[in-house]
């Protein structure tokens, strides 16, 4: 009777987790932990990023040479890279959350998950390309 139905419930839960893991291999709580950590992480790196921009007059900081100089500093480049990764993960996961809440068909949910992962990788790749190339620039 009861123990049976509890067991049933357990089985169902197993199925549920299995079904979920097909798509995203992480539990929602882990995803959200990542969301929070990337959020807070982004706070620090973005703060440094902005500080760096403010040590010289704003316009100067935008001049091509200065920018490239920054990029050539390996630490700064790494900083930029981490901003890129942290915000991409945080931001696109945020988007995933919003989109998941919009519609609940299986196709949509799968689509959202795939789209978000692809976009995340895409933007990270694209930004990394900039960083690497700019890092390799030789100033003539």
| 87-106 binders of other proteins (CB under 8 A) | 87-88, 91-92, 94-95, 97-98, 100-105
Cβ contacts of residue 70 below 8 Å, gap of 6+?
52, 76
- Say if CB 96 and CB 116 are below 8 A apart: yes
Phi-psi region of 25 (alpha: psi -120 to 50; beta: other; left: phi over 0): left
Q: Contact between 51 and other proteins (CB under 8 A)?
A: no
DSSP single-letter state for residue 56: S
Least distance from other proteins to the Cβ atom of residue 8, Å: 7
Residues at the site binding other proteins, with contacts judged by CB under 8 A: 1-2, 4-6, 8-10, 12-13, 15-17, 19-20, 24, 27-29, 31-33, 36, 39-40, 43, 46, 54, 57-59, 62, 64, 67-68, 71, 84, 87-88, 91-92, 94-95, 97-98, 100-105, 109, 123, 126-127, 129-130, 133-134
């Amino acid at each position: 009777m009861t123990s049976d139905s509890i067991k049933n419930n357990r089985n169902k839960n197993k199925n549920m987790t299995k079904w979920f893991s097909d798509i995203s291999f992480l539990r929602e709580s882990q995803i959200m932990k990542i969301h929070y950590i990337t959020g807070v992480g982004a706070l620090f790196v973005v703060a440094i990023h902005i500080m760096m921009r403010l040590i010289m007059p704003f316009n100067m900081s935008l001049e091509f040479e200065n920018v490239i100089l920054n990029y050539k500093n390996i630490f700064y480049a790494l900083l930029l890279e981490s901003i890129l990764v942290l915000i991409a993960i945080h931001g696109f996961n945020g988007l995933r959350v919003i989109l998941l809440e919009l519609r609940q068909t299986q196709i949509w949910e799968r689509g959202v998950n795939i789209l978000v992962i692809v976009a995340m990788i895409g933007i990270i790749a694209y930004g990394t390309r900039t960083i690497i190339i700019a890092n390799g620039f030789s100033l003539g």
